[in-house]
Structure 1
Amino acid sequence: MQRRYSLAHLTLLSLDPPAMIRAAAQAGYDACGLRLLPFTPGGIAYDLMGKPGQLRETLALMHDTGVRVEDIEIIRLGASFEVDACLPFLETGARLGARNILVSGEDADPARLTDSFARLCEAARPHGLTVDLEFMPWLAVNSLQAARRIVETAGQDNGGVLIDPLHFTRSASSLDQLADLPRPMIHYAQICDAPAEAPATIDELTRASRSARLAPGEGGIDLKAIFMRLPHDIPISIEIPNDEQSTRLGPQAWIRHCLEASKRFFSA
C-alpha cells in the first residue's frame, strides 16, 4: 500500500495557494492543504472564494503538476457560527476537489456546538466533503473524547475526528480512547513531533504548535503508539511549522526534510 502525503498549509503558511502547489510538487508531495479562512482574527488565509483569478491559477497548476488539494481550512465553530456564510467556502472546496474540511470547536455551549457541526456536515455533504473536528487543549473541544462526543451526537455520516499527535499528547486523551475510535470517523491524520515535555502555559503551547514543531523522529512523542492505532490507509497531512528550521534550511529544503522524515517513520 502506498500512502498519500499532503503538505499542510500551516507548514509554510507564507505561501499563497499557487506557490503551495508548486512547492508541494517540487518536494514530492502527492497533495497539499489550503487555508482559505483564518484561524485567528486577522490571521493569514487565502480567500480563493473572492479571487477567481488566483483560483484559476491554482486549478491550472494542480492539473499541470498532479498535486491535488486534500483538505481546506479552517471553519471555526463558535457561538456566532452561521452555516450560510460557509457556502462559498464549500463551493470552492468542491471546485478544488478537496475531500476534507478542518474545523475547530470553540463554542462553550455543547448543544449549540453539536448543532452547528451537524448543520455544517449537511451543507458539506453535497460537495463530497467530510467535516473533521480537530481538538486542541486550549479550545472548548479540548480532547479526543470531547470531539468524539460531538461527532457521535451530531450523527452525520461525513463527520469525523482529526488526530494531530501534538494536540493528542498535550490533551487529556489516551491511547485506549484512540484505539476505540470508530473507523468511519477517521478520514485523515496529521503528523509531527515535539519535545516530550509539554510547555507550561497556554501561550507557550500555542506558540509551539504554530511555529516550533519537529519532524518525525526528532522529538519525544510516541508516534508509533499513536499510528499503530490509526488505519493504515488514510492520507497523512504533514503539519510541521518550524520558523527556525525553515529559515535555516530554506522553505523548500524544510518541507522536503519533513516528507523524507515522515516516509522514514512509516517505512520503519
Structure 2
Amino acid sequence: MSDARLISLAAGVVQEFPAEDAVRAAAPAGFNAAGIWCDTQTWNAATTRRVEEALAETGICPLDLEVVWLKPGEAPTAHDQMIDIGLELGVRNILCVSSEPEMTRTKKRFEHICRRAESGNTRIVLEFLAITEIRSLQQALEVVQDVAHPAGGILVDSLHLHRTGGSADDLGDIDPRLMPYIQLCDASAVLGDSSPEGLIEDALYLRQLPGEGDLALHDILDKLDPQLPLSLEIRSRELMQRSVGDPNARARIVFLAMQHFLRSSIA
C-alpha cells in the first residue's frame, strides 16, 4: 500500500454480496481499503481463501472485519472464531458492539477478545450506538480505558455520534491512539421515528452520501488527523435500488461522492 490516506468501502454498503466480490468492487472504484462482512455460520476455509485471493489481486487493505456482537448469556469464547478469521486475513480492525447489559461483564468480554487478537497487528474497536448497551462515546471510552489493552480502541460512526447526542467537539480530547479509523456517512439532522425500530431503519437503510444530508461532517474531519483512515458506511435503500446486483456500480457512486466531498472541504 502507498502512504495515501486509507479510504475504505464499508462492508455494510455491499453486504448482500460475497466478501470477495466486495473487495474486488472497491479497487476499480478508487478505494484503497475495504471492510469485510463475516457470518461465521457460513464462513469456512474456502471463504478465507477466496477473500485472501481477492485482497492479493487488488492490493486492497482489509481495514476491518465485522461484526462481533456481544450478547448476554454467551460463552466467553463465543466470538473466538471471528477473531481468528480476522487474524488470518490480516485485518487492521475488528468491529465490536455490545448488548451485554452489565458493564463489568462487557469489560471482561472485551478484554478477552482483545487478548485473543493480541498475537496479530489487529485492533478490537468498540462501537457505540443507541440500540445497544454501549450507547454513547463516553461509555465506549470507559470500557476501552478501563480494560487498557493495547489492542483495544473505539469506533466513531458519524451517524451514531449524532443520534446519541454527540458532536464533533467530543472528538477533540480523545487520545488518537484509541481511534484507529472512523466511519462516515451523512443523514438528516432529525430522525422522524426514534423508536428502536426507527433507529434500526435509520442505520441500515436511510444513510446518505457525504454532502447530501445535515450532519456536520466537515467539523468532524477538522477534528481528526488528516491521515486517519475513513470507512464510508453508506447503508442506504436508495443506493441499493440504484445499483441492484452491481457492487461495482455502488462502490463507484460512493467513492465519487466522497471524493467530491473531500475536495469541497479544502476548497
TM-score (norm 2): 0.91
Instruction: Write the mapping of 1:88-127 to structure 2, written as runs, cut at 5 A.
Output: 88-127=81-120
Selected match of 1:256 from 229, 246, 252: 252
1:226 maps onto 2:228 in alignment: no
Q: What is the root-mean-square deviation in Å for CA atoms of aligned residues? A: 1.7
Contact 1:145 1:173 in 2 (8 A): no
| Deviation of the 1:107 alpha carbon | 1.0
Spell out, residue by residue over 1:231-258, the C-alpha distance to the aligned partner (whole angstroms, 9 max, x if none): 2222111110112223224543332121
Whichever residue aligns with residue 9 of structure 1, its letter is A
| Deviation of the 1:46 alpha carbon | 7.2
State the match for 2:34 in structure 1: 32
1:69 maps onto 2:62 in alignment: yes
Contact 2:83 2:113 in 1 (8 A): no
Q: Which runs of 5+ in 2 are unaligned?
A: none
1:265 maps onto 2:258 in alignment: no
State the match for 1:19 in structure 2: 21
Measured in 2, the distance between the counterparts of 1:235 and 1:3 equals 6
Secondary structure at 1:34's aligned position in 2?
A: strand
Secondary structure at 1:126's aligned position in 2?
A: coil
Q: How many residues align?
A: 259
Measured in 2, the distance between the counterparts of 1:236 and 1:199 equals 28
Spell out, residue by residue over 1:200-233, the C-alpha distance to the aligned partner (whole angstroms, 9 max, x if none): 2221121121012110000000101112122222
Selected match of 2:137 from 141, 144, 164: 144
Deviates more, 1:225-234 or 1:133-142: 225-234
Contact 2:80 2:113 in 1 (8 A): no
Secondary structure at 1:256's aligned position in 2?
A: helix
1:53 maps onto 2:69 in alignment: no
Secondary structure at 1:237's aligned position in 2?
A: strand
| Deviation of the 1:266 alpha carbon | 2.4
Secondary structure at 1:152's aligned position in 2?
A: helix
Contact 2:182 2:229 in 1 (8 A): yes
User: Percent identity between the aligned chains?
Assistant: 29
Measured in 2, the distance between the counterparts of 1:229 and 1:69 equals 25
Whichever residue aligns with residue 133 of structure 2, its letter is A
TM-score (norm 1): 0.90
Contact 1:135 1:162 in 2 (8 A): yes
Q: 1:232 to 1:46 in 2, by over 3 A?
A: farther
| Deviation of the 1:112 alpha carbon | 0.9
| Deviation of the 1:47 alpha carbon | 3.7
